[in-house]
Homo-oligomer: A and B are copies of this chain.
Amino acid sequence: MSDPFEQLREHMAALADLKNVAQLLDWDQQTMMPPRGAVARAETVATVQRISHEMFVSDETGRLIEAAATHLNGVSHDSDNASLLRVTGRQWDKARRVPARLAADLARASSVGHQAWVQARASSDFAGFVPYLERNIELVREYIDCFDDFDCAYDVLLDDYEPGGRTSDVARLFDELKAELRPLIAVVEQHHDRVDDSPLYGDFPVDRQRELVIWLLEQMGFDRSAWRIDDAVHPFATGFSNHDIRITTRWDESFLSTSLYGAMHECGHGLYEEGIAQSLQRTPLGHAESLALHESQSRLWENMVGRGRPFCGVLAPRIGSLFSSGLDADTLYRAVNRVAPSLIRVEADEVTYGLHIIVRFELEQELVEGRLAIRDLPEAWNARYKEYLGVEVPDDAHGVLQDVHWAAGLIGYFPTYALGNLIAGQLFARAHEQLPDLDAQLGAGELHGLREWLRENVHRHGAKFSTSELLDRVVGGPIAVRPFVDYLKAKLSQVYEVELR
């Protein structure tokens, strides 16, 4: 008889392959598929999901997990095999509680809701969207009812995007973050005239932007033998193995940040997928599982490197010569770090971004727990934006209808964005401790030192460790607010020339 771990690996390899298939179907749909292909594509996606679900929740998976578990004696917690067993067991325990009928209903409602949202947002029609949101919330509650071993309803959802994450921990972190961000924003708002972001607006031909972006990505590690970059309406990154990384971007002829920082963001995600160890490929550990860790990589590259003073010294002359603008490093640095409370999450600056997330985190808990009625959601949304960000929401398209997540049934996903910022702050601080000349490297345009540090400390482990296990290894503690806030204060005191405690 062959090694039970080998048998488990072989079984799970087929499921990893099907996951890649699902990701290719999605990548193709978003980048390549002609529009009329959508109807057949939906059927194909549904079939792959169904087959994959049936294979995973089968008794055979359970038997293989059990057989491997009996051979666990002496296998180190940190080993690939122990991690494989841990992660597979946890996923299986969760998946098998969900009836196939409910899984299918969730998938169907997600697809239907997504379509309805496109219409509703276009016409700012929340009322027309209510039945779809009601259906999603109803199914999400049914999903929650499949579980009895979580502390609260929202924990069930959060765990799907941030394995092991707890609502109470997130709430504590977000309370602390909110308490830090609001006074920060108040101070910089008093000095809003000190920062001018007009150099980012103008006339930027797409072919020149493309040249800039490709050069930038190549500095980060983009390599045509293992990567692609394509256009997409809603940019994303995906990977079908550590040697097949696909990122996407979009281009705005009148605003440079869209392509420039969008591409750095997605490349940050791509580097994570590329850096996962060869030994973890075709296992459940071969893709990063924590969306917070994933987002920490994209935000670290986009904001901490891309919007940092050292690398602005590399970017500015390139932008200046490509677009004949004579842009200098300090002007770019200030422009890309302007803080201004606004309505739309995906356009928010680094500082106010967290508040956009906190609004959603609070409201989606209230919806799931029935403390907020769906019909009252726009009013609650607008009030919360007024309270936290000081902005008036003019209509639902610029308010509660702006994101696709709830429409697609993705409830519990939003917090991972803000957690990613916090983790990025922790990792960037730790990288500076371990690479004392990091700023000098970044200022010289040398990005490989940081990339290799992240690869060694984060990427290569794939989904072997929970977020808290990984952070314990790298920074010696759990997710924390302090490093991110310290980073923001240091940056803002330079950009806005103010004293920040």
Contact = CB atoms under 8 A, between A and B. Distances in A.
Interface of A: 13-14, 17-18, 20-21, 24-25, 28, 32-37, 39-41, 43-44, 47-48, 50-51, 55, 224-228, 240-241, 243-245, 281-282
Contact of A226 (B21, B24, B36, B227): B36
B14 A226 contact: no
Closest 8 CB pairs of A and B: A37-B244, A40-B241, A17-B47, A36-B243, A36-B226, A17-B44, A14-B47, A36-B225
Contacts of A41: 240-241, 244
Contacts of A34: 224-228, 243-245
13 contacts: A13-B47, A14-B47, A21-B21, A28-B28, A32-B228, A34-B227, A37-B243, A39-B243, A40-B240, A40-B241, A40-B281, A44-B240, A51-B55
- Copies of this chain, complex-wide, total 2
Contact of A17 (B39, B48, B282): B48
A166 B297 CA distance: 59
A24 B14 contact: no
A277 B44 CA distance: 18
Given A20-B44, A40-B241, 12 more contacts: A14-B47, A17-B43, A21-B21, A34-B224, A34-B225, A34-B228, A34-B245, A37-B240, A40-B244, A40-B281, A41-B240, A43-B282
A8 to B, nearest CB: 16
A461 to B, nearest CB: 19
A432 to B, nearest CB: 32
B243 A40 contact: yes
Nearest to A228: B34
A381 B24 CA distance: 39
Contacts of A37: 226, 240-241, 243-244
Contacts of A241: 37, 39-41
Q: Is the interface of A mostly helix, strand, loop or mixed?
A: helix
A235 to B, nearest CB: 17
A28 B24 CA distance: 9
Contact of A225 (B32, B35, B224): B35
A32 B227 CA distance: 10
Contact of A24 (B25, B35, B244): B25
Interface centre among A13, A37, A281 (most CB of B within 10 A): A37
Interface centre among A41, A240, A243, A244 (most CB of B within 10 A): A244
Nearest to A34: B226
A240 B33 CA distance: 10
A284 to B, nearest CB: 15
Nearest to A281: B40
A396 B342 CA distance: 65
A33 B244 contact: yes
A35 B226 CA distance: 6
A228 B37 CA distance: 11
A241 to B, nearest CB: 3
Contacts of A18: 47-48, 51
Nearest to A28: B24
B43 A244 contact: no
Contacts of A28: 24, 28
Contacts of A17: 43-44, 47-48
A112 to B, nearest CB: 15
